[in-house]
Amino acid sequence: MSPLPTIQLFFCPLDINLLDEKTVSTVRSWLSDAEINKVDRFIQQAAQQQGLMVRGYLRSVLSSFANIEPDDWQFEYGEKGKPRLSAVQYKQTGLQFNLSHSGNWLLIGVIHSKEDASIPIQLGVDIERRRESTNIHSILHHYFSKPEEAALLALPESQQRERFFDLWALKESYIKAKGLGLALSLKSFAFDLSAPSLANLTLDDQLLPIQHDISLSLLKPTDVDELEQTNDVESCYEVSPLWQCCLGKLNNSYRFAVSVGEFAFGEKPLTLQLKAKKISWHEQIKMFIKTN
């Protein structure tokens, strides 16, 4: 079994106050007409500005891995909109990525398969901002699996909101890795946070707490109709050996999750190897201004 490549996580601030005329014009010059149209379709100016920053960060981060200029990257999209490099550029670079943004943070996850780019890896990342205004219990009942709901409600009330956003980040990362969007029922899989492995992830001068080896169970197809009727809900799910998932905290307001699946021809991958870096907007974009 080939070792799972290191997943590199880039934490990028989406503070629109960082924008200036030079970086805005530079990034817009990198984008395709379709991307510019998507950005300009946002009604609110702040959303347009953040949309531009997301694309600028992504293109410049990818260019740090390969001898390809930010304006030369070409993207394709899955049936439900999951972005990826064009087949030609993926074969050329071995790069796979996923991205997520919430509030004032963008998270980009990159895998660089240097030795064998013929084996695609399902990668999903998510970053979530904790919000006091979210009605967690109505969402919990409608979108979380019964094992997840039961485990959350068994916690003291003071811990339930934290667990909700932890699970939400994990579930989003798995859905994004699968690339199926909401065509994949959020009740068709369940995360168990009762016995993770604990570690720290270095981010500049910070140590971020990480929970590794989080158990993921998938709903057995034959049990879909029985789920609402049975009292033994847990027997309807089966632990998947094909996925590795982890959860971390950037700070008290933001948590992030990474899911990687079906790697190495069905053998269970090793514990995820992560590296993290915080990106400066001006330093990142201005590295490429002189070439445009």
Summarize pLDDT for 165-204 with one digit per residue, the tens: 999 999 999 999 999 887 888 999 999 999 999 999 999 9
Q: Residues 153, 157, 162, CA angle at the centre, nearest 5°?
A: 85
**DSSP-derived 3-state class of residue 198:** strand
Give the CA distances from residue 239 to residues 78, 151, 170, in Å, rounded to whole numbers and listed in that order: 27, 16, 15
Minimum mean pLDDT among 148-152, 181-185, 243-247: which range? 181-185
- 292 pLDDT higher than 50: no
| Cα dihedral 192, 198, 199, 205 sign | positive
Give the CA distances from residue 244 to residues 125, 191, 213, 257, in Å, rounded to whole numbers and listed in that order: 12, 11, 6, 11
Instruction: Give dist(CA 57, CA 284) in Å, integer.
Output: 7
Q: How much is the pLDDT for 235?
A: 79
- Local confidence band at 229 (pLDDT 50, 70, 90 cut-offs): low
Please say whether the beta carbons of 82 and 100 come within 8 A: no
**How large is the average pLDDT for residues 116-123?**
73
Instruction: Give dist(CA 192, CA 102) in Å, integer.
Output: 24
- Local confidence band at 266 (pLDDT 50, 70, 90 cut-offs): very low
Give the CA distances from residue 60 to residues 57, 110, 113, in Å, rounded to whole numbers and listed in that order: 5, 12, 19
Residue 187 identity (one-letter amino acid): K
**φ/ψ (deg, to 5) at 261:** -140, 160
Q: How much is the pLDDT for 114?
A: 66
First to last CA, the chain: 42
Q: How much is the pLDDT for 181?
A: 84
Q: Which residue has the tokens 């530079």?
A: 26
Instruction: Give dist(CA 82, CA 53) in Å, integer.
Output: 19
Q: How much is the pLDDT for 117?
A: 58
Name the DSSP letter for residue 184: S
